[in-house]
Amino acid sequence: MVYDTEFDVVVVGGGHAGIEAALASAKLGAKTALITLDKEKVGLMPCNPAIGGIAKGIVVREIDAFGGEMGRAIDQTGIQFKMLNTRKGPAVRSPRAQADKEEYRKYMSKKVQNTENLTVIEDEVIDITLKKNSNEVEGVITEKGLRIKAKSVVVTTGTFLGGLIHIGDKRFPAGRMEEKPSNKLPEFYRRNGFILQRFKTGTPARLDKRTINWSILEEAPGDEPAPKFSFWTEPYGSYWFKEGQKEQISCYITYTTEKTHEIIRKNLHRTALYGGAITGIGPRYCPSIEDKIVKFEDKPRHTVWLEPETKDGISIYPNGLSTSLPEEIQWEMYRSIPGLENVVLLKPAYAIEYFIVPPTELYPTLETKKIKGLYHAGNFNGTTGYEEAAGQGLVAGINAALRAFGKEPFYLRRDESYIGVMIDDLTTKGVIEPYRLFTSRSEYRLHLRQDNPILRLYGKAYNLGMLSEEQYKFVKEIEKEIKDWLEFYKKEAVKMVAGGETKRVTAFNLLQRPEISIDKLPSYGVCVPDKNYVREEVEINVKYSGYFERERKMNEKMRHLENIKLPHDIDYSKIAGLTKEVQQKLSKAKPMTLGHAARLEGITPAAITAIMVYLQKMREEKTKN
């Protein structure tokens, strides 16, 4: 085939996965094309106007540690910031922010259109071409007839592949409301032997804030000082804004009533989900209101968060009220809720079905096992959420660029990041419903905290070329300061008077006491770090040192397995002691490490031992030869 133009990397789709994939690829020097249906809708928030949340906020900071853009974008365009779970330990805390979704979209659109090595093309990819007699990507073909040659292709189609919107018994093809779906690209996947599954998600109606009775509602203000997402947003080198730095807008809380539940029960047969029109599987952790009423029938009410979509606009997002009821029933249902008695719906709620490819078709690099140079990221892998999508996009974009330059691939382990946890879950276990991250999914959550992503990941990011020399040196100095203070506290002696006796303890032991915060140390004659971030890290590392050590020992064995790589061409049928079923599972999954193999369903410790013995024999034979 003769191509019209050539790029190193082509990214299909301008959602949150596509943005991070394209920016990462371009940052690494790859000539990158981002192909999207509408340039002005790059970075659109089609559902909730927020970034972050439990585990999700940590992912945003991990993206930031790799030089990604989501954290900077929400810091610039956020209108309310909160730190969740502050009453619990540091392992489960996470930042969340309401966004001005219009400003966020404008920020991201401007960013991708003004990035070196990145070209934004307004078109639709309808086919992916392969090299002759090969299972390797060669390029893409667009609806306008453009033929683009590429070394790597990243597909981030979100809900657009075979998208079908449901509002009651009405249904029509769409990728999002008022946007056409991608109905030609699925044929490429069918032709090349990929399985296509149907998944479902939904979004609430949008409400006119002028028609809401705010006076009877419970106010939910932001935190002060406000947490920020990017280590590089001013003030530089911290995860907190200065007191009063961000002007914030309150959200409000209301609740469903028995009348709301009665309206839903009476009309269940008219919803797309319970009426049988939807065949796709919906998200368990972000269910529609009809799903909540059916599955939690004894619960007298459900919380609804009224969240502003923009700083100055009139649109309100009622978080917790997604539905596929007919539009006329939606009006009745929303008006049964306190404060919404006279509410006007600006847009109706809807459910949407779309195609995904099972993520077990992917390596942890997010490259497909069937086709070299083809990467998948975002909702197309069966996830839900802007943050999960962006984290995958970052990894796919980095790997697409590395492949274009003939370099070794990159992946993140479970013990390194929540992005690594997510990708390992997806590629190892697959998905039976839309996947959402939680801190409970990680066995390393004491290490994978919201306060330390930059410390965990800056070395890898710098080695890849995702952080500058200046950024690298800055973080390295902070890391050294933290270590120096911890060593100092282990040696610094403090006099304590108890029961008339004077005892000497170290500052480290003193700070381990629950009632002693780091800010109290000066009253015992012990100095503290000047930098807020260093002070916070030192205190957490001292307070939880015993727990950290326990977690480290528990997971040492698994870390060892993660470091043992499995040859790509390993023949499991030659390994003594493996059943045929285990051989077939391993051959299909193609695990990259022994740790990855150990997490596959049905793979026993005995099977892992057999593989280790086989690998040792292979090494010994190579040494002899």
pLDDT in tens, 211-259: 999 999 999 999 999 999 999 999 999 999 999 999 999 999 999 999 9
Q: What is the pLDDT of residue 22?
A: 98
| SS3 state of residue 446 | coil
| SS3 state of residue 125 | strand
d(CA 71, CA 67): 9
Q: Give the residue-averaged pLDDT of 132-139.
A: 96
From residue 176, alpha-carbon distances to 47, 275, 319, 351, 498 in Å are: 10, 22, 18, 10, 67
Q: What digits encode the pLDDT tens for the residues 390-402?
A: 999 999 999 999 9
pLDDT tier for residue 285 given thresholds of 50, 70 and 90: low
Q: What is the pLDDT of residue 502?
A: 83
Stronger pLDDT, 407 or 563, i.e. the higher one: 407
Q: What is the pLDDT of residue 148?
A: 98
Q: Is the distance from CB of 186 to CB of 355 less than 8 angstroms?
A: yes
d(CA 558, CA 594): 9
Q: What digits encode the pLDDT tens for the residues 170-206?
A: 999 999 988 999 999 999 999 999 999 999 999 999 9
Q: What digits encode the pLDDT tens for the residues 476-491?
A: 999 999 999 999 999 9
Stronger pLDDT, 96 or 604, i.e. the higher one: 96
Question: Residue 521: pLDDT above 90?
Answer: yes
Q: How many CB atoms lie within 10 A of CB 169?
A: 13
Q: How many CB atoms lie within 10 A of CB 535?
A: 17
Q: What is the DSSP string of 203-234?
A: E--EEEGGGS-GGGSEEEPPPSSPB-S-TTSS
Question: Residue 282: pLDDT above 80?
Answer: no
d(CA 596, CA 607): 13
55 — alpha (psi -120 to 50), left (phi > 0) or beta?
left
Q: What is the pLDDT of residue 283?
A: 65
Secondary structure string (H, E, C) spanning 251-267: EEEEECCHHHHHHHHHC
Q: Is the distance from CB of 328 to CB of 120 less than 8 angstroms?
A: no
Q: What is the pLDDT of residue 422?
A: 97
Helices (H) and strands (E) in the chain, counts: 19, 22
| Closest to 64 (Cα-Cα) out of 245, 285, 227 | 227
Q: What is the pLDDT of residue 319?
A: 97
The runs of H, that is alpha helices, within 405-506 are 418-429, 453-464, 469-491
Enter the pTM of the model: 0.91
Q: Average pLDDT over the chain, rounded to whole?
A: 93
Q: Give the residue-averaged pLDDT of 57-68.
A: 98
d(CA 549, CA 544): 9
pLDDT tier for residue 501 given thresholds of 50, 70 and 90: confident
| Closest to 157 (Cα-Cα) out of 383, 370, 477, 411 | 383
Q: Is the distance from CB of 154 to CB of 11 less than 8 angstroms?
A: yes
| Closest to 215 (Cα-Cα) out of 178, 188, 254 | 254
Question: Residue 80: pLDDT above 70?
Answer: yes
d(CA 127, CA 187): 8
Q: Is the distance from CB of 206 to CB of 315 less than 8 angstroms?
A: yes
Quick one: how far is CA 611 from the chain centroid? 33
| Closest to 399 (Cα-Cα) out of 358, 424, 364, 428 | 364
Q: What is the DSSP string of 449-475?
A: -TT-HHHHHHHHHHHHTSS-HHHHHHH
> Which residues does residue 198 pair with via DSSP β-bridges, in sequence order?
355
pLDDT tier for residue 53 given thresholds of 50, 70 and 90: very high
Q: Give the residue-averaged pLDDT of 409-416.
A: 93
Q: Is the distance from CB of 203 to CB of 318 less than 8 angstroms?
A: no
Lowest mean pLDDT among 95-104, 151-160, 431-440: 431-440
Peptide bond into 348 cis (omega under 30): no
Tell me the domains of the chain and their CATH numbers. Answer: 7-202+355-441 (3.50.50.60), 206-353 (2.40.30.260), 469-551 (1.10.10.1800), 557-624 (1.10.150.570)
Kind and range of the H or E run holding 598: helix 594-598
Quick one: how far is CA 208 from the chain centroid? 30
Question: Residue 352: pLDDT above 90?
Answer: yes
Q: Is the distance from CB of 111 to CB of 69 less than 8 angstroms?
A: yes
From residue 373, alpha-carbon distances to 123, 175, 369 in Å are: 21, 25, 10
Tokens encoding 73: 């974008």
pLDDT tier for residue 284 given thresholds of 50, 70 and 90: low
Kind and range of the H or E run holding 197: strand 197-203
Share of the chain above pLDDT 70, in %: 97
What one-letter code names the amino acid at 105?
R
Stronger pLDDT, 539 or 280, i.e. the higher one: 539
Question: Residue 11: pLDDT above 60?
Answer: yes
Q: What is the pLDDT of residue 291?
A: 86
Residues 6+ apart with CB under 8 A from 334: 205, 207, 318, 321, 340, 343, 345
The runs of H, that is alpha helices, within 299-360 are 327-334
